[in-house]
A and B are shown apart, each in its own frame.
Chain A
């Protein structure tokens, strides 16, 4: 038994699985579903614990139901997203698992060590990339084209949307292709005001596209409009991998889920293929090995790159699947910049239920695609505000602005409640040589696994884009008769309010696909050029980072890669 073993002894699991998937988020969950339903036996490794809805979800709790009103012991989360209402979804810092920003760089890395990964955190914004987004170099000469086109991915967008459920509307906008949509919910007051202003400014404002059910689908109930997707959804009306992708995989009887499994490295056999994954069982702290005929890396963009770079062998001295040297390079996030406004007409709106889904009902797709701009590529805009559930910290700004005390303060707070709308730009970053991650030569985590060191620098194109966001949002606020708050200028560490790298949590590109093995790690099916039984299906495989949130594309690319893998398996190409 375990207690008599010395801890360095490596335990080999007796079975050889058809496929081992590392990571259970958008990509890993999709792969588990597609592959098990295709008849393969699958082991799914997840570094975190299971998510248990009846224990972990906090839906419909009022602030006053909790002694700390949601901000935790000592008011810890008073200025933090990590409040008591949220379902477990990830963290910026994990004890015992550091990462490093190189001198002069600032990068933040959000990691979701839990079944379902970052889909527990995801805003469910499900946007298709446009045809032009796959062929950027052909279009404007910058960056690289993908080895695949929109037409290759479109059938898989269809499959994903049909299965997970995405609401939206048909609009025929070139920069925002239509999908298979459930009906969108009606606009909120805040959204009708913004839409009116956008119409006057000839800015597109259309129903948003979120992976939340507005009609029942595949055994899941429709949304009940409590606006609390971030707290976890007891009815699974919003999408998460743990509630929507993993259950059908489990139902096949061919899925073996292993939680608390921290992958250390991929072990290569004499034939140059991956033979096993070496991982730490976090509960027992034992080293284990799991064997499979094929491996899918879906551990998240930077974690997958880390695992490849840490898998060095005599056959692959620069790390696995890295003969091109691109692993870790090409790191991109999304360009983010925010602006808020006060809208006095909302003072007159009678009290009403403004909750809606847990996200925006309308958004602004990229609208300046048909003209020359000061920068390349584009951005979309998310916005929200209004009469949400009051929370701790909501009145900080007003208290500082209004000061005083007494009935006048109390009434001012009531008058201004629900009158704010915030805008958040989400734009395409062009990869540059200053943005990458590599293994830090000196630092390991608590499992002894070398950690990542990040390098980051925005280029002028992104700064110009952030400037355009600020100008656009000011124009919308003023057109609507509102007052904008704290517009951001060119100076300081965040010119025009541009967020630090990693903060928008859209990092992609570190194990990119491409036609040429010299300049890419994967082919168009996410299969490693160097190692045929290895696939990287998370955001790492992206060639560019269009303004669309990457999750829907991650799922579509994963589904496509798994169909290819199933086909290869049928042909007997999966190996012994």
Chain B
């Protein structure tokens, strides 16, 4: 099993009221370093078998058709590498 991640973000020119709300809360909590916040969505898609170019092409289509609205959002697709913790966990089970 492999995991493909799709990140969806509001386009830079589109107002992001949620990000603004988060940004507004930070100074009240004493966090003064952050100057801007944009809030998006992360989708983790499980796929059986190898991640081939064909699989990635289909996931691009999924992202374009359903996961994002190209009028207001951009998306990025990337294959998630196994994290060190996951590899250790799987090694422990084996």
Are the chains A and B members of one assembly? no
